[in-house]
Amino acid sequence: MSVTNLLENWAEFRHTHPVDDVPHDPYKWAMSIDMDTCTGCNACSVACYAENNLPVVGKDRYEHGQAMHWMRIERYWPEDGREFPDQGAQFLPMMCQQCEAAPCETVCPVGATNHTADGLNSQAYNRCIGSRYCSANCPFKVRYFNWYDYPTTENVWPAEMTMQLNPDITLRGKGVMEKCTFCVQRIRAGERSVKNEGRILRDGEVQTACQQVCPTNAITFGNLVDPDSRVHQQWKAQRVELTVDEQEKDKEEGGSDLRGYRILEELRPYPSVMYLERVRESAI
Amino acid sequence: MKDINEDIAWAKINTDVLRSLESPRKLYWVIVFGALAVFSVAVGCEVYQYNMGMGVANMDNPHVWGLYIATFIFWIGMSHSGTLLSAILHLMHADWRKPIYRFAEAMTTFSLMTAGLFVMVHLGRLWQFYYSLPYPNDRSLWPNFQSPLLWDAMAIFTYLSSSVIFLFVGMIPDLAICRDHLHAGWRKKLYTVLALGWEGTDRQWRNFRVTYLTIACFLIPLAVSVHSIVASDFAMSQQPGWHVTSFPPYFVAGALYSGCAAIITLFIILRYTFKFEEYMTLAILKKTVRLTFAIAMVWTYLNAVEFASVWYSHDIASKEVLIQKATGPYAIAWWGMIFCGSVVPLILAFKRFQTNIPVLLVTSLLLNLGMWLERWMIVAPTFSHGIYPWTWDHDQWPSWVQWGMVFGSFGWFTLLFMVFCKVFPSVSMYEVKEMVYHRTLASKKLEDSGMQESGKGAH
């Protein structure tokens, strides 16, 4: 970075850093989640714990709200006059939305969270000083802070349990912020393996852990700029655009047949996750 | 009622002020050791938190900011009154500030140092704090110039260094007096070095005046900018309850308010412990009290503006946060803020209480309690009732570690302040002399013109 960068468009510079990167070429990673098929089974959350070396913090810490679930299943209870068990919960899987104009990125004093050219919101653990401004400004509150030193003093993975840790991922010590990465280690490994073949990743070659385990295929992940990818087709079918803050669905008068929407779009973070609205009755 | 007795001899001013460096009342030592004990609580809490992680402060996701940030704003705010008294009133030629500006300026410096501590204890990885500084390194890694937190770090550092220089420069003639009057010892050596060879020649006085005025002019925009930038930490964010355009002036008004209230508190304490009754007179106290009252009303007005603009906006999330503040788990603190910040200062409107020391001591402490609550109510409720519903059922209360640190910071501030007042003259000797001189001249002139008037009448 230099003064020239500062005087020119700094936001542009952030987006394409390092210098030769071109945004969204050839990848823009995105997701779509079908709330109709989601059963709230939490398998995605468990898979995320296993894949990303998330510490299981224990009951006490969980009660204190210090859980580290990058992928969380939220429950909503519609106010329709019914009570459980007559009424079932509605589930919403929530993880980092990898916003294109991420509110967390601009506020980090040290630039520990940045945008990659393939549309991920990256987090550099080594650079993080733990000011927690990113979490304070995150509209979705999907950032999780290491309140304790889980790998060492908290002894989350005693003795042999370290054998089940994912070697592709670092363990995070106390005082750094972390969040869903769209399983960036899998993306990078996939990119490297196809580089030898001189091509780019095809749809389905990289799956996120949550997508892989979802028993009902509610989660679709892929390259949004690849017209053959399932995620691209879903976004297109729902006429959801990445770069607008109001979708066709909201513009249609008197309700719409379209189901695709993005959460808190009006704040203009331009999330990379599209949700498909629930249309069936609650599970019970 | 005169601001100061015009018959005080210059030599007496010297002796009285220099005496404060030697023999304060016993209460001084009680305060110093009390402050040390209170500060050690904070040290203990920090050691524990440093070793265990931030979790012991009982913050959680999403309540990632707590009392540290609130108290940080509080101390930054406290620092504004020093500049108000020493720089703004200096430019306005309000000479009643002269006996009290020195300690107000010291208060600025020390409260900034206290605020700096809170930035540090707030960081999850305190040992890496230097990442936020733009230092040259071979990987060309720079801090993020878009982040209001970075502006904060820079604004505070600039303000702190400038106010230290201002405090020091304003003290040079007095340090020379100390150098000339004290018997040999480490202090004499200290004053000799710090007085920079001051002899009181005309040329030195001229240069001194120009320098002092220049720094005063430099400091005023800094004081306004530093708290506006602290306000930007919130106003620049997207969160309901924070994303308020009027925050910068609101913060600056709040800062001047709590600073003036603190000046009243310290005025009363210093006046008693160092036997400054002749210099810190009730007339000056009265002027400070009136100033505080005026600022309190400005703050109340800006508060009302904020509520109104949130209430009549179409931003449902912000409105919800406001309702939550008044009715939710923080209701006691929020109404406490309204009471202490807007109702209690009405006492100051009564002439009878404007010079009543016990009443003023209690009132000024209550005002600052209100202002501390205000900062807390800016920071915390947004987290418990944010824009995203998942945050709504997460209750959170600061642990004893956070409270201990807040409590201890008062010890740290008092300790620094009290040590300063014992080592350096906390009343400006040369400015008090000036004040006495000018006042004498003025009353003489008045008498003369009065005689002429009456003389004319006789003709």
Q: Work out the average pLDDT over B289-293.
A: 92
pLDDT at B1: 67
Confidence of residue A1 (pLDDT cuts 50, 70, 90): low
Confidence of residue B278 (pLDDT cuts 50, 70, 90): confident
Residue B132 lies in a domain: yes
Confidence of residue A14 (pLDDT cuts 50, 70, 90): low
Separation of alpha carbons B99 and B85, rounded Å:
11
Residue B44 lies in a domain: yes
Percent of chain B past pLDDT 70, that is, above it, reads: 98
Q: What is the mean pLDDT of chain B?
A: 88
Tell me the Ramachandran region of residue A6: left when phi exceeds 0, alpha when psi lies from -120 to 50, beta otherwise: alpha
Q: Work out the average pLDDT over B432-445.
A: 83
Confidence of residue B427 (pLDDT cuts 50, 70, 90): confident
For residue B27, give Cα distances in angstroms to A184, B36, B274, B365.
63, 14, 9, 19
B391/A106 CB distance under 8 A:
no
Q: Say if residue B454's pLDDT is above 90.
A: no
Q: Work out the average pLDDT over B246-265.
A: 91
Confidence of residue B455 (pLDDT cuts 50, 70, 90): very low
pLDDT at B459: 43
Q: Which residues of B touch A94 (CB under 8 A)?
A: 390
Helix (H) or strand (E) holding A122, with range, is: strand A121-123
pLDDT at A15: 54
pLDDT, tens digit, 9 for 90 and up, residues A32-72: 999 999 989 999 999 999 999 999 998 988 888 899 999 99
**How many residues would you count in chain B?**
459
- In the chain, the amino acid numbered B192 is T
Confidence of residue B452 (pLDDT cuts 50, 70, 90): low
Residue B452 lies in a domain: no
Residue B127 lies in a domain: yes
Residue B99 lies in a domain: yes
Residue appearing with tokens 């620049």: B236
A145/B64 CB distance under 8 A:
yes
Question: Among the ranges A83-87, B39-43, B96-100, B450-454, which has the highest mean pLDDT value?
Answer: B39-43
Q: Say if residue B459 is exposed, middle or buried (CB neighbours under 10 Å; 0-12, 13-18, 19+).
A: exposed
Q: Which one of A1, A103, A109 has the shortest CB-CB distance to B132?
A: A109
Confidence of residue A282 (pLDDT cuts 50, 70, 90): low
pLDDT, tens digit, 9 for 90 and up, residues B359-373: 999 999 999 999 999
List the beta bridge partners of residue A261: A275
Residue of A76, A94, A147 for testing the chain B interface, max B β-carbons within 10 Å? A147
Would strands A219-223 and A29-34 be described as parallel, antiparallel, or unpaired?
A: antiparallel
Separation of alpha carbons B316 and B314, rounded Å:
6
Chain A CA closest to residue B126:
A129
Q: Work out the average pLDDT over B221-230.
A: 90
Confidence of residue B456 (pLDDT cuts 50, 70, 90): very low
Q: Which one of A106, A131, A140 has the shortest CB-CB distance to B388?
A: A140
pLDDT at A232: 95
The whole-angstrom distance between B218's CA and the closest CA on chain A is: 25
Of residues B5 and A126, more confidence is placed in A126
Rounded to 5°, angle at Cα A273 from A271 and A275:
120
Chain A residues 190-229 with CB within 8 Å of chain B: none
Confidence of residue B458 (pLDDT cuts 50, 70, 90): very low
Residue of A8, A104, A131 for testing the chain B interface, max B β-carbons within 10 Å? A131
B144/A127 CB distance under 8 A:
no
- For A180, the 3-state DSSP assignment is coil
Q: Say if residue A161's pLDDT is above 80.
A: yes
Q: Say if residue A155's pLDDT is above 50.
A: yes
Contact B124, A173 (CB under 8 A): no
CATH code for position B60: 1.20.1630.10
Q: Say if residue B219's pLDDT is above 60.
A: yes
pLDDT, tens digit, 9 for 90 and up, residues B134-147: 888 888 788 888 89
pLDDT at B457: 42
Backbone angles phi, psi at A222, to 5 degrees: 175, -165
Q: Find the domain containing B108 and state its range.
A: 23-427
- Terminal-residue alpha carbon distance, chain B: 33
B124/A111 CB distance under 8 A:
no
pLDDT at A21: 65
Q: Work out the average pLDDT over A155-167.
A: 88
The whole-angstrom distance between B64's CA and the closest CA on chain A is: 6
- Residue in A196, A44, A10 with CA at minimum distance from that of residue A115: A10
Q: Say if residue A3's pLDDT is above 80.
A: no
- Residue in B427, B4, B7, B5 with CA at minimum distance from that of residue B177: B427
Residue of A107, A155, A172, A262 for testing the chain B interface, max B β-carbons within 10 Å? A107
Backbone angles phi, psi at A96, to 5 degrees: -55, 130
Residue of A17, A132, A155 for testing the chain B interface, max B β-carbons within 10 Å? A132
Helix (H) or strand (E) holding B228, with range, is: helix B202-235
The token pair at B160 is 């702190």
Residue B16 lies in a domain: no
Separation of alpha carbons A10 and B197, rounded Å:
49
Q: Which one of A14, A131, A267 has the shortest CB-CB distance to B123?
A: A131
Residue B184 lies in a domain: yes
**How many distinct structural domains can be found in chain B?**
1
Q: Say if residue B245's pLDDT is above 70.
A: yes
Separation of alpha carbons A246 and A115, rounded Å:
23
Q: Work out the average pLDDT over B258-270.
A: 90
Half-sphere exposure of B247 (CA within 13 A, CB side): 24
Confidence of residue A271 (pLDDT cuts 50, 70, 90): very high
B132/A110 CB distance under 8 A:
yes
The whole-angstrom distance between A35's CA and the closest CA on chain B is: 17
**How many residues would you count in chain A?**
284
Q: Say if residue B171's pLDDT is above 50.
A: yes
Confidence of residue A20 (pLDDT cuts 50, 70, 90): low
- Residue in B218, B327, B202, B238 with CA at minimum distance from that of residue A104: B238
The whole-angstrom distance between B309's CA and the closest CA on chain A is: 19
Chain A CA closest to residue B396:
A64
- Residue in A16, A258, A34 with CA at minimum distance from that of residue A118: A16
The token pair at B331 is 């209701």
Q: Say if residue A25's pLDDT is above 50.
A: yes
- Residue in B426, B291, B419 with CA at minimum distance from that of residue B349: B291
- In the chain, the amino acid numbered A16 is T
Residue appearing with tokens 């009252």: B293
Q: Say if residue A10's pLDDT is above 60.
A: no
Contact A275, A261 (CB under 8 A): yes
Tell me the Ramachandran region of residue B140: left when phi exceeds 0, alpha when psi lies from -120 to 50, beta otherwise: left
- In the chain, the amino acid numbered B336 is G
Q: At what angle do helices B357-379 and B331-338 cross, to 10 degrees?
A: 140
Q: Work out the average pLDDT over A91-95.
A: 94
Q: Say if residue B413's pLDDT is above 60.
A: yes
Percent of chain B past pLDDT 90, that is, above it, reads: 42
B238/A130 CB distance under 8 A:
no
Of residues A142 and B90, more confidence is placed in A142
Helix (H) or strand (E) holding A92, with range, is: strand A90-94
Confidence of residue B426 (pLDDT cuts 50, 70, 90): confident
The token pair at B354 is 């404007």
The token pair at A122 is 């990256």
B53/A174 CB distance under 8 A:
yes
Residue B230 lies in a domain: yes
Q: Say if residue B20's pLDDT is above 90.
A: no
pLDDT at A133: 94
Q: Say if residue B55's pLDDT is above 80.
A: yes
pLDDT at A187: 95
Question: Looking at the complex, does the CB of residue A136 fall below 8 Å from at least one CB of chain B?
Answer: yes
Mean pLDDT is lowest, of A1-5, A36-40, A86-90, B175-179, for A1-5
Q: What is the mean pLDDT of chain A?
A: 88
pLDDT at B204: 92
Chain B CA closest to residue A77:
B389
Task: Supply the DSSP symbol for A239.
Answer: T
pLDDT at A9: 62
Separation of alpha carbons A191 and A182, rounded Å:
14
